[in-house]
Amino acid sequence: MERTYVRSTVENRLAVVTIDNPKVNALNDRVVDELAEVFGELETLSEIGVGILTGAGEKAFVAGADIRGFEKFIGNRQAAVDSSRRMQALFSKIENSRLVVIAAINGLALGGGCELAVACDLRVAGDNVLIGVPEVKLGLIPGAGGTQRLARLLGKGRAKYMVLTGEFLNAREAFQWGLVDRVVPAEDVLSEAKRIAARILGNAPLAVEAGKRAINRGLEMSLEDGLALEAELEGDLFLTSDLAEGTKAFLEKRTADFRRK
């Protein structure tokens, strides 16, 4: 597919994926398809360990879905369900990716943009950010996973506040609620995301992947089942060459040379 709205660059095991759909990087069918294609390709590149997802320009990360496309769904229930499931599938692909995905939120993150950010593993926000799910103001609810992921991330009460009021949070409020993990000056969002990525990329890749998998899958299980999963993943890591290298490097007081093996 020739890409119009999504571009990606790769350097030193880090991929930066940029949504570029002027003026506010709105999500439409083509953006969704191109994002799915990019993340599908990155998943197969074992040398890539972290992806940063951001929006082009200074105004918006993603300011929601393209409302001009809603007309074709009004009165057509199944088409609306299919569209919701399609976007949910993309966000689940990002959430469950082998890569650690960092949202570099560089402006408005509204509706689908908020839902997309919440599907990422970590969120770095500029101090100019407004984030929220205002769909109720249109007569809708978040339909790309927002009702489910916000409740898991923030708890039922705060998720209901966001979904039912449709109010926006500023960067400080989003940080206090745990919706974003870091707040930095707007001009430093991408560099801060890259700094965090470098810290992650310095660790053993298979251990990072196992840690993400243990948390994501464990949250859908009972505590006992989650503990069993954790132990199994730990056992798997004791069979890796990277663990042997990591412990040897620690004892020799040098930087480990991890090979994802």
Summarize pLDDT for 154-200 with one digit per residue, the tens.
999 999 999 999 999 999 999 999 999 999 999 999 999 999 999 99
Strand partners, 132: 110
- Of 114, 127, 260, 135, whose CA–CA distance to 187 is shortest? 127
Total count of domains within the chain: 2
95 flagged as catalytic? no
Residue 62 belongs to a domain? yes
- Structural domain that includes position 242: 205-251
Do 23 and 71 touch, CB atoms closer than 8 A?
A: no
- The verdict on 158 and 228 lying in the same domain is no
- The verdict on 103 and 216 lying in the same domain is no
CB within 8 Å of 23: residues ≥ 6 apart? 57, 59, 60
Summarize pLDDT for 43-86 with one digit per residue, the tens.
999 999 999 999 999 899 999 877 777 778 888 889 889 999 99
Residue 28 belongs to a domain? yes
Selecting among 34, 58, 135, 224, the annotated active-site residue is 135
- The verdict on 180 and 210 lying in the same domain is no
- The verdict on 52 and 91 lying in the same domain is yes
115 flagged as catalytic? yes
Selecting among 115, 209, 234, 245, the annotated active-site residue is 115
- The verdict on 210 and 82 lying in the same domain is no
Domain of 211, CATH number, reads: 1.10.12.10
Summarize pLDDT for 216-251 with one digit per residue, the tens.
999 999 999 999 999 999 999 999 999 998 999 899
Q: pTM to 2 decimals?
A: 0.93
Residue 257 belongs to a domain? no
Domain of 190, CATH number, reads: 3.90.226.10
Residue 259 belongs to a domain? no
Residue 78 belongs to a domain? yes
- The verdict on 195 and 210 lying in the same domain is no
Instruction: Report residue 169 as tokens.
Output: 């949070």
